[in-house]
Structure 1
Amino acid sequence: MHLVPRLGSGIPLVARVDEMRRLRAAFSRAERGEAGTVLLAGDAGVGKTRVLAELGEHTGGRGALVLTGRCLDVREGGLPYLPFAEAFGPLATAEDPVVVEAVRARPALGRLLPTVQPGPLVSSELVPVTSSEPEMAHRARSEQDLGQLQLFDAVLGVLARIAEHRPVVLFLEDLHWADGSTRNLLSFLATRIRAQRLLIVASYRGEDVHRRHPLRGLLVELVRLPTVTQVELRPLSPTDARAFVEALAEGPLSPETIASVVERSEGNPFFVEELLASCAEGSDLPAELAEVLLARLERLSPDARRVLRVISVAGEGVSHAALADVSGIGENELDEALREAVQHHVLVVEDGSYTFRHALLQEAVYGDLLPGERIRMHAAYAARIMRTPQGRGHDAKLAYHSLQSRDMTTALPALLRAADEAERLGAPGAALRHVEQALEIWHAVPESSHPEGVDELRLLHEASYFAGTSGEPERAVAYARSAVQELRPDSDVDRAAKTWRRLAEALNNVEGAIDEAVAAIGRAWDLVAESEPGRTRSWVLATRAAILRGVGRREDALQSARTAVADARATGTAGAEASALITLGGLADNAAEFEEARVRLLEAERKAREADAPNVELRALCFLGNSYEDQGEIDRAIMVYQRGITRAEETGLTWSAYGLEMRSRQLQLRYFSGDWPTESATGAPARGVSSALAARMTASSLPIVVSRGRFAMAAKLLVELRPHWRAEPLTALAAGAAGSELAYWQGDYPAAIRRAEEVSDFLRVFGLDYLLSEIRLGAHALAGAVAQAAAARLRGDQPEERDAVATGERLLEQVRYAAVNGRPRAGKLGPEGRAWLARAEAMASGLGGKADPARWEAAVEAFGYGAVYEQAVCRWHHAEALLAAGEPARAAREVREAHEVAERLRALPLRDAIRSLARRARIDLPGLTEETGAAAEPAQSRVDPLTDRERAVLERVALGRTNRQVGEELYISEKTVSVHLSRVMAKLGATRRAEAVAIAYDRGLLAKPSGAAV
C-alpha cells in the first residue's frame, strides 16, 4: 500500500480539546484503579493516530507503560492476534523485573511472544482437523479452545500484574481490519477488567464498519458495558481547519489557497495535508490521494461502482428517479447497488437524494472516468433536465451538463438565463461565472443560434458590472476596456455612452486609475452632452459628478450633479437622481454643511432603495457613515455602516466597492471604540474575491491582532500584506501603523520607526490625498524614537540618544506639516486627526527625558470622542508623566482606568505594561496580586528574604542601571535606592552589587534579565 508522507508530524495538535479531555479523564480513572475501554471512532485521515500519539505522550509522561499494536489490511484470512503480538513485543525484551517476572510466569504468552516457551496446550502446530478422524478433530478443537482460553487469561494476567506496579495503556489501532481472534481477545479483556490500573483504547474507521462488517456485532456488545466509553473524532470545523492549514504551511499562503484547501478537505486533516502538498488552488486531485480514495471502492460490486460513476457526474445530490433514468440499471439491481454503497458509507441520503459522503471522493471517482463516459453521462443528464419542469437552478444545471457534453448551442442560452437568475437572487459572483462561460463559447456557437438581442458587447458590459459587484475590480476594468474596444464608428451613440460610462465607473474603483476614469467619463459626456435629457444622459452626468468631486473639481462636480438631478426627475430615472444626490451630499460635507449633507444622503438612500438600485443605496450609506465618522460620532457611524453591511448581504453586494468599504470601516471603528470582535467575526472574504480586497479586510483586523498580543500571527500577516500596498494604499496605512506598534511592544524601537516611515514614504507617491495619514504614522514612530532615546540614556549611550532625539524632532515636524497641509474631507481636521496630533505632541515632549503631563492630559481628552483603546494607551503614558512629576495620586487614577480597559479588551501588551508600571510605582490594582502573583514576579525559593521593592531594585541593578536610573524608573529617590541595596546585600551576605545579583540568580530569587523595562 502506498504511504503518503505525513506533513503534520511535529506540529501542535489542532482542536480536539473535548476529545483529549475525555481520553485523559479515562486515563485518570484508570490511574485510580478504575479500568476501562475507550472505542475511538472516526473517518480515515481524521486524526485518530495523531490523537493516540498525543494521549501516549500524556500517559507516558505520567509514568504509564504504553503498549501499541496495529491491525493490517490483510484480506486473505488475516493474521491472528497481530495487534496484540505487536503491542506485547517489547515485553519480551523488557528489563523491568516486574515485567520479566510477569511474562515468565505465563508461558501461554508464547503465541504472542516468540521468546516465551509455549505450554503443552498452546502449541502453534495444532493437529489438523479432518472429517475422517472425528475423535482427533474433537480433541484438536478442545485443545484449541483450551489454548485460547489460557492465552486470554495470560494476556489479562500479565496486564493486571504490571498494572500493580505502574498504570498500563494498551492502544489497538485500526480495529476494522482485526481478525476474529483479535476481536475475541478484545471482547474477553473488555468484559473482565474492573479494578486494574489499565486503559484499553481501540480505534476504528466508522465509515468502514458497514452493516455486515464482522466488527459491528462486537461494537454493539461492547457499548453496553459500563466500563466502555465511545469517543468520536469528527472533521475539523472550518476555523480549526484553517488553523491546521496555517500550522502546516512552511510559508505564507494566499487567502484563496487557504480557503480552497479548507473547503475541499471538509475538515479531514489527511485531506488537508495532501491538498496542501499539491498547493494549487482548484488543481486536480493529487494522484496519491485519489488512489487512497478509490481503493475503498474496489470491494464494491460492478453495479455499485457504476452508480457511483453516474452520481459523480451530477456534481450534486441525485434522486432515485434520475439515477434510474441515467444509469440504465434495472430497478432491483439499482436498489441493491445503492444499498451496498450506503451501507459501506460511500453514499449518504440527504433530503431524498444520494450524494457522496465526502466531496473529494466524488472528485476521485469523476477524475477516474473515461472521456467518452463523461460526455455520454453529461448528455444524459442534460436531456433529462430539458424534460423536467423548470425550477431554481434549472438553467445553471442545464448549462453545466451541456458544456461538459460539448453541446454549445444548448449551453449558451442556458448560461444567459442562469446569469439573469443569479442576479435576481443576489449572487453576482455566480452571474459573472455564467457570463464568462458564455463569452468563452460565443464564437463556437453559430451566429444563427445566438439568442436574440444579445451580442458580445452586451456580454462584456455585464461581465464588467458583475465583476465589480462581486469583489473583483481589476477584472471589471479589464472587461470594460474590452467592451470599449468592441465599439465601432457606427455604434449607437446611446450604447457607446453607456460603455464608456461603465469603464469610468470601473476605473474609479481601482487605485491609481483616476486620470483614466476622468478621460473615460469625458468621452461618455461628449457623446450625450448635446442630446435631450434621458436615462443614459442622467446616469452619465451622475457618474461624471462623482468622479469630478473625487479629483477636487468642486464647481464642475456641483454643476453636473444638479443637472443630473434635474434630468433624472424629468425622465423618472430615480437611480441616477439618487446617485447625484449622494455627490451633492458629499460636497456639502466637504463644505462643513453637515446637516444638509445628511439630509441629502438620507434622501438618496431612500430613493435608491425605491428604485431598486442597491449599489447606489450602498454608496449613500457609505457616505453617510463617513460623515458621522469624520466628526467623531463613532456610535452613529457604526450603526450606519452596519445598516449598509446588512443591505450588502441582502443584495449580494457584500464585496462590492462600497460593501467592502463599510465592512472595513466598521471593523476599524469597532477597534477604536473598544468593541473588539472575535477573530471569526472579522469578515474574511470568501473564495473568488480579489486578493487586494481580501488584504484590505486583513489589514483592518491587524490592529486588533497586535493589541491582543498575537505577535507571531501579526508578523505573518504583515508579510502577506506587503504585495498589496500599491493596489490599496489603505492597506499600507493599516499595516504601517500596526507594524510600528508591533515592533514597539516587542522592544525593537528602530523597527517601530522604520516601519512607520516606510509607509509614509510610500504614501507620499499618491500626493496630498494621503498626507493626513502621516499624523497617525508619525505618532507611532515617535513612540519608538522616545523609547529608543530613553533606552540609550539608561545605557549611557549619548550618541544613540542624540540620534534618537533628532529623529523624534524630525518626525514631529512632519506630523505638524501633515496636520496643516493635509486635505480633510470636511475642510478642517476632525476629532481623530486632532487626537493623533495631540498624542504626537505629548510623545515628543518626552524626547529629552521627563514628558509633559499637561500634554498627555490633552491627548487623553482628545481621544475622549470614543476611541477607547487609544485613550487607554494615552492614560498609561499620562500616568508615567505624572509619576515622574511627583503626582502619584493622579497617576494611580489613570493607571486604574487604563488597566480596566486593557483587561476588558484582553489587550495583553498594554495590560502588562500598565501592571509593570503599577508594580514599580506601588499602585494597587484590583485582582493584580491574584492574577499575576508568581507568574508576574521572578521565580523565588521557598524562603524569600527580599521584599517586592528590594527585588525591583535588584532587577534593575542586574540590568546595569545606576542608582539614579533605578530611582527614575521606580519613582523613588537615589538615596532610597541606596538604602534598599544595602539591605539586599546584608540579607544575601554580599559585599558588592554584582555579588548580590549573582547570589540572587543562584538562589532563584531573580529571573534572568530579558531587556529594558517597558
Structure 2
Amino acid sequence: MRLVPRLGSGIPLVARVDEMRRLRAGFTRAERGEAGAVLLSGDAGVGKTRLLAELAEFAGTRGALVLTGRCLDVREGGLPYLPFAEALGPLATADDAAIADAVRIRPALGRLLPLAQPGPVASAEHAPVTSERDVPYRPPVEQDLGQLQLFDGVLGVLTEIAEHRPVLLLLEDLHWADGSTRNLLSFLLSRLRAQRLLIVASYREEDVHRRHPLRGLLVELVRLPAVGQIELHPLKEADARAFVEALADSPLAPELVANVAERSEGNPFFAEELLASCADHEDLPAGLAEVLLARLERLSTDARRVLRVISVAGESVSHAALAEVSGLGEDELDEALREAVQHHALVVEKGAYAFRHALLQEAVYGDLLPGERTRMHAAYAARILRTPQGRGHDAKLAYHSLQSRDLTAALPALLRAADEAERLGAPGAALRHVEQALEIWDAVPAPARPPGADELRLLHEASYFAGTSGEPERAIAYARSAVQELTAETNVERATKTWRRLAEALMNVEGSIDEAHEAIDRAWELIAAAEPSKTRAWVLATRAAILRGIDRPEESLVSAQTAVADARSAGSAGAEASALITLGALADNVADFAEARDRLRSAERKAGEAAAPNVELRALCFLALSYDDQGEISAAIKVYERGIKRAEETGLTWSAYGLELRARHLSLRYQRGDWPGESVTGTPARGVSSVLTARMTASWLPIVVSKGGFTAAGKLLAELRPHWWAEPMTAMAAGSAGTELAYWQGDHETAVKRANEAIDFLDALDAEYRLSWIRIGAAALPAAAAQAAAARLRGDDEAAKAAVEAGRQLVERVRFGAEHGKPRAGVLGPEGRAWLARAEAAASGLEGAADPALWAKAVAEFGYGQVYEQAVCRWQHAEALLAASEPGRAAEELVKAHETAEKLRAAPLRDAARELARRARIELPGVVEAVLPQRDTVDPLTERERAVLERVALGRTNRQVGEELYISEKTVSVHLSRVMAKLGATRRAEAVAIAYDRGLLVRT
C-alpha cells in the first residue's frame, strides 16, 4: 500500500455536509450585511481545521478577505493577542489602498501590527508600541484606556474593510487563548451588527474542563444573538470507512478498512495515523501515542495512576474495583477521578468509569512497565474470583489470568468462556477462547487441566466455531489437525465425529467436495455396522448431502432415508432435520416442489426445536432457493428474510448458510427493483474470510453498476478478481457485472472480452457452472451488436465482420450453456429462460436492425418480477421498433423503461432512454430538453435539420443518418435539400462548411 496523503492534501471532505452548509449559510448572511459568529467545537483531530479550510476556500471564491490566526500551547501565561496579531498581520503590508488607509488611521493597531505605518498622531500617548520595553508605566486606568483603543481599532478596521469586501476571520485553538485574546473576542462578538463580517472560532471540547477560563466566556458568548454553535462529532461508521478508503491511493482490504475505522472511532486524525503507521499490525503508532499521552501530563500523579489502573481493565471499571486495585484512599481516589473526568480523559457510564476514547486507553496501557502491568492484571483476576458469577465473568477471568501469566487459572476459564459465547450466539468469540486454550495447553501441567478436556476436543470445537463464524479455511485446518490426533486407542465414536467434522468443513469450501466424500466415507466405515444412534444418524445425514453434491442422487436418497429412520430411533431431531433437507433438495431436483417444500418446512421446524441453528439456516436457504429457482420472488424474499433474522439472532451471520441467505436476498432485491440506498453487505467481523466478504461484495456489485457508480465498480472488480477460484459465485457475479459496466461505458470490445474471460474461467472450473454462461453472454451480446454497427458506420467492413463473428460465438456459448447446464429442477427456470430470450434478441441485431418480436419476448420473459432487467429489454425493444418504423409502440416501451430507470435512479439506463427519445423525437413525461446556448447569428435550421447535418458532418450516408434518427432515407434527403437551400449551398460538404463558419455547428 502506498503512503497515505496528509489530511487536507486532496482528500475529499467526508460527511460534513450539514456543518459545511451551516457555515456557508453564515457567510452568505454576512455578505448581506448580517454579521455573525460561530463557535466550532470538537475533539482533537476530528476535523475542525479541515472544515475551516474548506470554508476559507469557499469564501475566497466569493471575493472575501480571509484572515486566519491560531493560538499556541504556551503554558506560562500565553502570548497576548497572538491569534489576532497573526490574523491581522497581512493587513500591515497589504497592497489594497482601502486596507492600508483603514490600518493607517488607527494607530492603536500598532500594538498588534508592528509593520504598520501609522498616520499623524496627536501625542506620544498614541504612538505604536512595538515591544515591552517601549511601554512606559501607566496607571491601571490608562492601561484600560489603551486596551479599549486597541479593541476599537480592531473592530473599526474590520468594519471598514467589510464595507469594500466581505471579511472572514478564523481563530483556531481558542482553548489555548490567553486572557487578552479572550477579552478581545468577547468585545468583537458583542458588537456584531450590520458588518459584512463572519468570525469563526474553534476550540477543543475535551480540553475545556469545568475550571478552564474559556468555559465561563463560552457561556456568555452563546447568549449573544449573533453567535451560533457547531459541535463537530466523530464520523459515523459508514462515513469513517469511506474516509479510510479515501486516504489511500490504492484499494484497501475490507478487513483493514473496518479495523482502522473501528479503532479510530470516527476521528479522522486517528484514522490517518493508524493507516499510515499501523496497516499490518495492531500496535499503536508511536507518534499517535505521544500525542495522546501528552494530554495527560498535566494531570496529578494520582489521576495518572487511576488512568493506568483503568487501562488494564480494558473496559469500564466500578469505583469499588478502582479502590481495591489502585490502593488509593477514598478521598484521593475521588479527587483523582474528578480531575480525570473534568479533563475529559474519562467518562462516567452507568456508574462506572471508562476512557473517553479507546485509543487513549491503548496509549496508556502501552506505556505501562511490564511489572506494574502484570501486578494489576493479577489484582483484577483475584477480585473477579471473589465476585459473584455473571455474564462475561469467565472471559474476564481468562483475560486477566493470561496477562498475569497464571495459565492454570486461565485454561478452565477459557473453556467456560467459550461455552458461554456459544450460548450467546457469538461463535467468533468462542473460537478466540478455544484458540487461546490450545496455545497454552502444553504449558499447563496435566493434573491442572480441566477434567473431560483434551486437545482433540479443543481442535474439534475450534473447527466448528471457525466454520460458523466465517472462517472456512481455518475450520478445515483445525479439522485436519484433529484427524491427525486420532490413534488406535481413540474411541470409535469420537473418531467418527472427528472424520464427520472434517467432511462438514470441506463441504463449505469450493473444490473440496471429493475430499469431503473421502472423509465421510471414513466416518461411515467406522460406524456402518453399529446400531442406530445419534452419531450414526448424523454421519448418514452428512453423507446424504455430500452424495447429492457429487451427483449421486440414488445413493443420496437411500442415505437420507436411513438417516431419518436412525434419527427417529435415537431421538436426534437435529440429524433428522439435516436428512430431511437433503430429501427436500432431491425432490426439488425432480420438480416435485410440493414435496420438497413440505420436507424443508418440516426440517426448519425440527431444527428449531432441536436448537440446531446451522441446520435451521440450511433448511431456510434450500426452501428459499426452491421459490427462487421458480421465479416466485416475493415468496423467496420472505424466506430469505426469515433466515437472515435467525442468522442474526444466533450469531451465524457469516456462516456458510448465513452468508448465502444474505447474498441471495440482495440479488433478489436487485431483480425486484428494491435497491438499497447504500451497501448492505455488512462489516465483516474480525477474522472473517476475505472469500466470504468478496461473495457479499459481488452481490452488491450489479446495483453499483446499474446506478452508474462506474469508478466504485471498477475498484470492486479489481478487489474481487483474486477470489474467483475460491468462490465461483463471485466469478459469476463479477463476470456479468464487469461486462455490463464496460457496455454502459461504451467500451464494447472490453465487454465482449470480459464475458469470454468469465465463461472460459467457469468452463475450466467445472461443468456445473454452465448455466451461468447464459447471463454473462447475454450481457455481452448487445456490446457485440453495437461494435458491429459502429464499424459499419465507419465503413470498416473487416471490423464489422469480426464483431459479428464474436457475437455469433457468444450466442453459441449461451445456447450451449442452456442446453448442457444442469438446473436444480431439471429444466430451465424463469430466470434462465429470460436471459436466453434476451441473448437471442440481442443476437438478432448483429448484422442489422434487431427483431422487435424477439425483444418483445425478452420483455415478457422478464415479467415474472425482474423489474430492472425488464426495463432494459423495453429500451432495446423500443430501439428495434423504431428501426421497424413503429414509433407509437416504441414510445410506449421507452416511456415505461424510463419510468423504471427514474424510480431506481439507474442513471445509465435513464440516460440511454433519454438519448434514444431525443433521436427519435419521443416526448418522455417529466423530461425537459436542455435549452441550446444562444448563438450570435440567427439560426435558420430546425432541430431535426441540425441533427441530420451533424451526422452528415461525421461522414454518415443518407441511409446511415436515417438509421440513427429512425427516419427514411428519402426523408433525410428532403431535410438536406432544405438545409442546402437555407444556407445557399449546392453540395452536402459545402453546407457543412457554411454551418461551421456561421457557428451553426460546433466542432467536437
Q: TM-score, normalised by structure 1?
A: 0.96
Q: Which residue of structure 2 lines up, in the alignment, with residue 133 of structure 1?
A: none
Would the aligned equivalents of 1:673 and 1:868 in 2 still touch at CA under 8 Å?
yes
1:576 maps to amino acid: A
Would the aligned equivalents of 1:239 and 1:680 in 2 still touch at CA under 8 Å?
no
Partner SS for 1:933:
coil
Q: What's the Cα RMSD here?
A: 2.0
Would the aligned equivalents of 2:937 and 2:998 in 1 still touch at CA under 8 Å?
no
User: Is 1:52 aligned to residue 56 of structure 2?
Assistant: no
> Take 1:402 and 1:196, find their aligned partners in 2: how far apart are those partners?
66
> Take 2:843 and 2:520, find their aligned partners in 1: how far apart are those partners?
47
1:867 maps to amino acid: Q
2:189 maps to amino acid: A
Deviations 1:171-210 (A, max 9, x none): 1111111111111111111111201111111111111111
Inter-CA distance 330–759: structure 2 relative to 1 (3 Å threshold): same
Q: Which residue of structure 2 lines up, in the alignment, with residue 200 of structure 1?
A: 199
Inter-CA distance 29–127: structure 2 relative to 1 (3 Å threshold): closer
Partner SS for 2:38:
strand
1:126-205 matches, within 5 Å, as 139-205=138-204
1:814-825 matches, within 5 Å, as 814-825=813-824
Which has the higher mean CA deviation after the structures are superposed, 26-35 or 671-680? 671-680
> Take 1:995 and 1:709, find their aligned partners in 2: how far apart are those partners?
41
> Take 1:924 and 1:551, find their aligned partners in 2: how far apart are those partners?
56
Would the aligned equivalents of 2:111 and 2:130 in 1 still touch at CA under 8 Å?
no
Partner SS for 1:297:
coil
Q: Which residue of structure 2 lines up, in the alignment, with residue 35 of structure 1?
A: 35
Q: Which residue of structure 2 lines up, in the alignment, with residue 741 of structure 1?
A: 740
> Take 2:846 and 2:307, find their aligned partners in 1: how far apart are those partners?
74
> Take 1:832 and 1:285, find their aligned partners in 2: how far apart are those partners?
51
Aligned length: 996
Q: Which residue of structure 2 lines up, in the alignment, with residue 582 of structure 1?
A: 581
> Take 2:186 and 2:1003, find their aligned partners in 1: how far apart are those partners?
56
Inter-CA distance 64–999: structure 2 relative to 1 (3 Å threshold): farther
> Take 1:761 and 1:447, find their aligned partners in 2: how far apart are those partners?
56
Q: Which residue of structure 1 lines up, in the alignment, with residue 800 of structure 2?
A: 801
Q: Which residue of structure 2 lines up, in the alignment, with residue 100 of structure 1?
A: 100
> Take 2:263 and 2:458, find their aligned partners in 1: how far apart are those partners?
31
Q: Which residue of structure 2 lines up, in the alignment, with residue 673 of structure 1?
A: 672
Q: Which residue of structure 1 lines up, in the alignment, with residue 521 of structure 2?
A: 522
Q: Which residue of structure 2 lines up, in the alignment, with residue 717 of structure 1?
A: 716
Q: Which residue of structure 2 lines up, in the alignment, with residue 568 of structure 1?
A: 567
Q: In the TM superposition, what is the alpha-carbon distance from 1:1000 to its structure 2 partner?
A: 6.6
Q: Which residue of structure 1 lines up, in the alignment, with residue 930 of structure 2?
A: 933
Q: Which residue of structure 1 lines up, in the alignment, with residue 944 of structure 2?
A: 949
Q: Which residue of structure 2 lines up, in the alignment, with residue 300 of structure 1?
A: 299
Inter-CA distance 1004–680: structure 2 relative to 1 (3 Å threshold): farther
Q: Which residue of structure 2 lines up, in the alignment, with residue 14 of structure 1?
A: 14
Q: Which residue of structure 2 lines up, in the alignment, with residue 971 of structure 1?
A: 966
Q: Percent identity?
A: 77
Deviations 1:395-417 (A, max 9, x none): 00000011011010000000000
Runs of 5+ in structure 1 lacking a partner?
Answer: 131-135, 1010-1014
Which has the higher mean CA deviation after the structures are superposed, 859-868 or 970-979? 970-979
Inter-CA distance 904–767: structure 2 relative to 1 (3 Å threshold): same
> Take 2:357 and 2:236, find their aligned partners in 1: how far apart are those partners?
15
Q: Which residue of structure 1 lines up, in the alignment, with residue 129 of structure 2?
A: 124
User: Is 1:790 aligned to residue 792 of structure 2?
Assistant: no
> Take 2:993 and 2:645, find their aligned partners in 1: how far apart are those partners?
63
Would the aligned equivalents of 1:939 and 1:1004 in 2 still touch at CA under 8 Å?
no
1:18 maps to amino acid: D
Inter-CA distance 585–940: structure 2 relative to 1 (3 Å threshold): farther
Inter-CA distance 990–171: structure 2 relative to 1 (3 Å threshold): farther
Q: In the TM superposition, what is the alpha-carbon distance from 1:462 to its structure 2 partner?
A: 0.4
Would the aligned equivalents of 2:8 and 2:50 in 1 still touch at CA under 8 Å?
no
Q: In the TM superposition, what is the alpha-carbon distance from 1:246 to its structure 2 partner?
A: 1.4
Q: In the TM superposition, what is the alpha-carbon distance from 1:995 to its structure 2 partner?
A: 7.1
1:219 maps to amino acid: L
Deviations 1:719-765 (A, max 9, x none): 00011111101101100000000000001111101111111111112
> Take 2:75 and 2:899, find their aligned partners in 1: how far apart are those partners?
65
Inter-CA distance 953–684: structure 2 relative to 1 (3 Å threshold): farther
Inter-CA distance 129–803: structure 2 relative to 1 (3 Å threshold): closer
Q: In the TM superposition, what is the alpha-carbon distance from 1:527 to its structure 2 partner?
A: 0.3
2:663 maps to amino acid: S
Deviations 1:929-984 (A, max 9, x none): 1xx534xx678779765543234334434444333212111101233334444555
Q: Which residue of structure 2 lines up, in the alignment, with residue 756 of structure 1?
A: 755
Q: Which residue of structure 2 lines up, in the alignment, with residue 75 of structure 1?
A: 75
Inter-CA distance 117–803: structure 2 relative to 1 (3 Å threshold): closer
Which has the higher mean CA deviation after the structures are superposed, 278-287 or 436-445? 278-287
Would the aligned equivalents of 2:679 and 2:700 in 1 still touch at CA under 8 Å?
no
Deviations 1:305-362 (A, max 9, x none): 1111111111111111111010111111111111111111111111111111111111
Partner SS for 1:74:
coil
Q: Which residue of structure 1 lines up, in the alignment, with residue 224 of structure 2?
A: 225
> Take 1:38 and 1:1002, find their aligned partners in 2: how far apart are those partners?
55
Q: Which residue of structure 1 lines up, in the alignment, with residue 368 of structure 2?
A: 369
> Take 1:1004 and 1:112, find their aligned partners in 2: how far apart are those partners?
59
1:405-444 matches, within 5 Å, as 405-444=404-443
1:186-585 matches, within 5 Å, as 186-280=185-279, 282-585=281-584
Would the aligned equivalents of 2:206 and 2:343 in 1 still touch at CA under 8 Å?
yes
1:82 maps to amino acid: L
Inter-CA distance 387–60: structure 2 relative to 1 (3 Å threshold): same
Inter-CA distance 1003–70: structure 2 relative to 1 (3 Å threshold): farther
Q: Which residue of structure 1 lines up, in the alignment, with residue 702 of structure 2?
A: 703
Would the aligned equivalents of 2:114 and 2:130 in 1 still touch at CA under 8 Å?
no
2:89 maps to amino acid: G
1:910 maps to amino acid: L
Partner SS for 2:125:
coil
Would the aligned equivalents of 1:402 and 1:410 in 2 still touch at CA under 8 Å?
yes
Partner SS for 2:296:
helix
Q: In the TM superposition, what is the alpha-carbon distance from 1:784 to its structure 2 partner?
A: 1.6
> Take 2:1001 and 2:198, find their aligned partners in 1: how far apart are those partners?
43
Would the aligned equivalents of 1:435 and 1:459 in 2 still touch at CA under 8 Å?
yes
Partner SS for 2:688:
coil
> Take 2:131 and 2:713, find their aligned partners in 1: how far apart are those partners?
68
> Take 1:317 and 1:344, find their aligned partners in 2: how far apart are those partners?
17
Deviations 1:61-81 (A, max 9, x none): 111111111111112222111
Inter-CA distance 127–713: structure 2 relative to 1 (3 Å threshold): closer
> Take 2:505 and 2:146, find their aligned partners in 1: how far apart are those partners?
83
Would the aligned equivalents of 1:257 and 1:279 in 2 still touch at CA under 8 Å?
no
Inter-CA distance 392–117: structure 2 relative to 1 (3 Å threshold): same
Q: In the TM superposition, what is the alpha-carbon distance from 1:283 to its structure 2 partner?
A: 1.8
Inter-CA distance 425–1007: structure 2 relative to 1 (3 Å threshold): farther
Would the aligned equivalents of 1:471 and 1:690 in 2 still touch at CA under 8 Å?
yes
Partner SS for 2:69:
strand
Inter-CA distance 939–855: structure 2 relative to 1 (3 Å threshold): farther
1:459 maps to amino acid: L
Deviations 1:566-597 (A, max 9, x none): 11111111111111111111111111111111
Deviations 1:359-392 (A, max 9, x none): 1111111111111111111111111111111100
Q: In the TM superposition, what is the alpha-carbon distance from 1:562 to its structure 2 partner?
A: 0.7
1:656 maps to amino acid: S
Q: In the TM superposition, what is the alpha-carbon distance from 1:13 to its structure 2 partner?
A: 1.1
Q: In the TM superposition, what is the alpha-carbon distance from 1:281 to its structure 2 partner?
A: 5.2
Q: Which residue of structure 2 lines up, in the alignment, with residue 1012 of structure 1?
A: none
> Take 1:922 and 1:676, find their aligned partners in 2: how far apart are those partners?
31
Q: In the TM superposition, what is the alpha-carbon distance from 1:502 to its structure 2 partner?
A: 0.3
Among candidates 950, 953, 956, match of residue 961 of structure 1? 956
Q: In the TM superposition, what is the alpha-carbon distance from 1:93 to its structure 2 partner?
A: 1.6
Partner SS for 2:389:
coil
Q: TM-score, normalised by structure 2?
A: 0.97
Inter-CA distance 127–637: structure 2 relative to 1 (3 Å threshold): closer
Structure 1 moving runs of 4+ over 4 Å: 125-130, 937-946, 981-1009
> Take 1:880 and 1:980, find their aligned partners in 2: how far apart are those partners?
22
Q: Which residue of structure 1 lines up, in the alignment, with residue 638 of structure 2?
A: 639
Q: Which residue of structure 1 lines up, in the alignment, with residue 844 of structure 2?
A: 845
Inter-CA distance 847–331: structure 2 relative to 1 (3 Å threshold): same
Would the aligned equivalents of 2:110 and 2:130 in 1 still touch at CA under 8 Å?
no
